[in-house]
Amino acid sequence: MNDSFRQRNTAFFSQLGKLIENSPLQDAQRNLRALAHSAAGRLDLVTRDEFEATQRMLLAARQQIDTLQAQVRELQARLDGAAPEQTPSPEDAWR
């Protein structure tokens, strides 16, 4: 009896699985998934890793710009014969 019950259940679930695979809901899910992939492909998206790498490069560039601008202010002050000024600069707004 146990084997007969198991065979009937296996057959039932096998048929049920085939019905679900061929159901309109499954088709709609496949179509929506394909539409989402197509829409995402047309967008100019980047991965999280690419975004974070670009963010690190931007931070390094900003730090380098700040350093170079401070050096330019110091050199300009030397040329003008005055001490370097300590006024806040526009790059301080980045912080």
- Structurally, the chain folds into a number of domains equal to 2
Q: What is the pTM of this model?
A: 0.45
Which among 5-14, 24-33, 48-57, 72-81 has the top mean pLDDT?
48-57
**Residue 57's pLDDT is what?**
98
Tokens representing 31 are 């179509």
Q: How confident is the model at residue 93 (pLDDT cuts 50, 70, 90)?
A: low
Same domain, 5 and 21: yes
**Residue 75's pLDDT is what?**
94
Same domain, 36 and 55: no
Q: Dihedral of CA 18/20/25/29: which sign?
A: negative
Which tops the pLDDT comparison, 14 or 88?
Answer: 14
Which tops the pLDDT comparison, 50 or 31?
Answer: 50
Backbone angles phi, psi at 88, to 5 degrees: -65, 145
Same domain, 50 and 94: yes
